[in-house]
Amino acid sequence: MIKIGQSNDSPCSSGGGTEITNHSIIKFNGKADIGCGCKILVYNKGEIVFGKNFRMNNQNFIGCCNNITFGEFVNIAHQTQIFDTDFHYLFNLKSKSTKNNNMPVYIGSYSWIGNRVTIMKGTKIPDYSIIASNTLLNKKYDTQEGSILAGIPAKISKENYLRIRNNGMESKLSKYFEQNENTEYKFPINIDVMKLTKY
């Protein structure tokens, strides 16, 4: 099922209805939830591909002239913007030339994108990436899976981290930390890590 413009638990207001302007191709490869106040614009010969179990919170903006592809189980917080284009060309006075103003964007499966992130043309991030709030991405990131990218422009902040998405485990951890604020929760050595990453 594809849900568009439905309110959710975002800390920001809904921002009104969601707008989709499609002059080319939008593909959904499975379930998708898109929050309120979002804008999705597809121009020219652009193509957006949403992988299965895609989730996007409120007040996000996606502008596509080329190709933007989201892997499976991608989760985006609120007020993020994603563009595969600069929208305009820049004239180089010295060389009397200009460069292509659009390049594809790829967001790997199981990636978690924080709030107020900006993703620019040519960005490619691997599966299981975590993008910190207020980060700017503008290139291909040859990082290992489980990397946290942060900053302007983005750099590796930490490695070997996965977002826990399993609702039952999140509830269990919340109860644990209510009683044990200043400790770490130790998982069993033989835990199935992949089960933690799925809703």
Which is higher by pLDDT, 8 or 49? Answer: 49
Q: What ranges make up the beta strands (E) of the chain?
A: 2-4, 19-22, 25-28, 32-34, 39-42, 47-50, 54-56, 61-64, 67-70, 75-76, 81-83, 105-107, 112-113, 118-119, 124-125, 130-131, 136-137, 148-150, 155-158
Task: Give this prediction's pTM.
Answer: 0.91
pLDDT at 79: 96
**φ, ψ for residue 155, nearest 5 deg:** -135, 165
How would you classify the pairing of strands 148-150 and 155-158? Answer: antiparallel
For residues 58 and 39, give the distance between their C-alpha atoms in angstroms, rounded to a whole number: 10
Residue that the structure tokens 């269990």 belong to: 172
Span of 1-5, 27-31, 74-78, 111-115 with lowest mean pLDDT: 1-5
What confidence category does residue 142 fall into, taking pLDDT thresholds of 50, 70 and 90? very high
Tens-place pLDDT, residues 76-130: 999 999 999 998 999 999 999 999 999 999 999 999 999 999 999 999 999 999 9
Tens-place pLDDT, residues 149-184: 999 999 999 999 999 988 899 999 999 999 999 999
Whether the predicted pLDDT of 11 surpasses 60: no
**φ, ψ for residue 176, nearest 5 deg:** -60, -45
